[in-house]
Amino acid sequence: MPKTAVQALGINRWFGEGPARTHAVKDANFEANFGEMVYVVGPSGSGKTTMLSMISGILRPDSGTVRIEATDIWSLSRDALAEFRLHKIGFVFQDYHLFPRLTTAENVAIPLILQNRDWDAALTEAKANLEIVGLGGRAQLAPIKLSGGETAARSDCPCDREPTRHSDSR
Amino acid sequence: MSWPSDYVTSVMSGILRIAYKLLINDRAKFAALLVGITFAVFLMVEMTSLFAGILSRSSSTVINIGASIWVMDPAVQTVANSIPLPDSVLDEVRSIPGVKYAVPLYSGGALLKLRDGTYQAANVVGLDDTSLFGRPEVIAGNIEDIFADNAFIAIRDAEFYKLKNPKIGTEFELNDHRGVIVGIGRVSSSALFGVPTLYTTYSRALQYIPNSRFTISYLLVEPKSRADVAAIKARVAAAGYLALTREEFVSKISDFYMYETGVGTNMMLMTLISFIVGLSISGQTFYTFILENIDKFGALKAIGAKGRDLVSMILFQAVFVALTGYGIGVGLCAALIWAARTRLPDYAAMITFPNLGMAIAMVVIIAGISSYVGVRKVLMIEPFDIFRG
């Protein structure tokens, strides 16, 4: 019996005011089990990013519930939700949003540093993860010196071992 | 480990280390921020140091003479503008219980005719003939020679050269009287008004320099104990005169220059302008720095950074820039004063702890306002806006 990792029930989200008010996500339900790889597919403007944002804890739904590993994430306090995201959710941003003034390894290590890991230990783990995606030799370079493919690979780099790490908005 | 950046980062928490690297690795912005703070601090410290130097010089006679209590006419505003007291005041003050001793002091201006025929204004201090209370440190000659005929002691300060660098035995004329330099002295503080200073006895000063009916410029009083000061002041006040401790007299002179001349207002105005310029440059640059990284801060927020993490990053960056700029600014100011004194030994600037305290308070305000604007911006950014690109 597969265990449920993510469950969203009846989530809704509106944007805008008055005549411009738009119902971006309407009564959406979503469920993903551990071990599954799920793709969300739809035309541009259909609400994919909005739904994923509500599921991943960065956009509060107007109604509905989201449970991740049985935790109702939108019942958590602001800080508790941030802590939850830090340990349970992974993001690959559409524009990557890498820090150009940090090295590639330091960029990869940021989630670990936010978890209060020791700086050196976080960098060691980040470099090990970069080795996994074939960027071990690029660890000390600034992200701007990576190719487009390398940048995407860095963004996919597993910084922790949580199963929901790679909720990819692309 | 390379100094200082690796050392600095090794003692920081990870989040502050990220903030530090983001800041210093953006060299153009970091330099612009430092320049803004540095020049604001430099100007603020230089202005206030000049003012402190001027205030200190304005009280030089009070500092150099060193009496504990000064008795004067209540209308006196600065030591340079004394109002003569009648001799009876001397007797009256000496009769006050608690007065250990009281001596007269003459302080006034004179016009000297030097040996080469040129005229030079000078400040003449006449010391009590009996005690020579308030005498300068004599570095050439003997203090007792001041009792010789026509004797004067010239003070070697920045204005000394205006007497044509006199030596012992150099003669001059003062109001058709012959004067002779019998010694060279040194005092702790130079005068403000750019004229050389001569010391002689009180009686000779009265004899050489034309005077009004009353002749005592100030009475210098030493109390038997500090506990007697209040009673002495009260008795002097009852007699219609004013007794001030040395500190009170210095403060009164400072207040005069600060509030009753344009000097204080202008200095404060320049300091305020420096503050505004520093705030404008640093605030603007810091805000631009935050704006350029706003998506990164949003990404950090989405990943799981808490508001306090981001606030601590921004505050750290602002404080780091502020303190670094403060240090460089104070260093530059000290270097300028040192360099100026190599050419102008009497350059009236003095870096004091209150000056440094005021400058750091203003820098903290600049850092606070700059970071407040950044913090507001970062706390308002929604991770969702970053996520959808």
Q: Which structure tokens are listed for B203?
A: 């009686």
Q: How far is B356 from chain A (nearest CA, A)?
A: 34
Nearest to A156 by CA among A68, A93, A85: A93
pLDDT tens-place string over residues B54-95 = 888 888 889 888 899 999 999 999 888 889 999 999 999 999
In this structure, are residues A54 and A13 in contact, taking their beta carbons and an 8 Å threshold?
A: yes
The ipTM of this complex is 0.79
Q: What is the pLDDT of residue A134?
A: 85
Report the chain A residue with the minimal C-alpha distance to residue B24.
A101
Say whether residue B7 is in contact with chain A using an 8 A CB cutoff: no
Going by pLDDT thresholds of 50, 70 and 90, the confidence category of residue B184 is: very high
CA distance A98 to A109: 11
Burial class (CB in 10 A: 0-12, 13-18, 19+), B211: middle
Quick check: A84 and B304 CB within 8 A? yes
Spatial strand order in the sheet of A22-33:
A22-33, A4-15, A63-68, A71-72
Say whether residue B294 is in contact with chain A using an 8 A CB cutoff: no
Report the chain B residue with the minimal C-alpha distance to residue A86.
B304
Of A78, A83, A91, the CB nearest to B302: A91
Going by pLDDT thresholds of 50, 70 and 90, the confidence category of residue B14 is: confident
Whether residue A109 is predicted with pLDDT greater than 50 in this model: the reply is yes
Per-window interface: A 115-134 vs B, CB < 8 A: 116-119, 122
Quick check: B303 and A86 CB within 8 A? yes
CA distance A64 to A29: 9
Q: How far is B299 from chain A (nearest CA, A)?
A: 7
pTM over 0.80: no
Of A52, A93, A113, the CB nearest to B14: A113
Whether residue A28 is predicted with pLDDT greater than 90 in this model: the reply is yes
Of A49, A85, A101, the CB nearest to B303: A85
Quick check: A58 and B383 CB within 8 A? yes
Whether residue A57 is predicted with pLDDT greater than 80 in this model: the reply is yes
Whether residue B367 is predicted with pLDDT greater than 60 in this model: the reply is yes
CA distance B171 to B123: 17
Whether residue A67 is predicted with pLDDT greater than 50 in this model: the reply is yes
The domain spans of chain B are 5-57+262-387, 86-240
> Which residues on B lie below 8 Å from A78 (Cβ)?
306-307
Say whether residue A46 is in contact with chain B using an 8 A CB cutoff: no
Q: How far is B280 from chain A (nearest CA, A)?
A: 25
Q: How far is A1 from chain B (nearest CA, A)?
A: 31
pLDDT tens-place string over residues B84-134 = 999 999 999 999 999 999 999 999 889 999 988 999 999 999 999 999 999
CA distance B124 to B378: 66
> Which residues on A lie below 8 Å from B386 (Cβ)?
93, 97
Going by pLDDT thresholds of 50, 70 and 90, the confidence category of residue A170 is: very low
Nearest to B358 by CA among B56, B39, B49, B58: B49
Going by pLDDT thresholds of 50, 70 and 90, the confidence category of residue B26 is: confident
In chain B, the percentage of residues whose pLDDT exceeds 70 is 96
Q: What is the pLDDT of residue A153?
A: 59
Report the chain B residue with the minimal C-alpha distance to residue A82.
B304
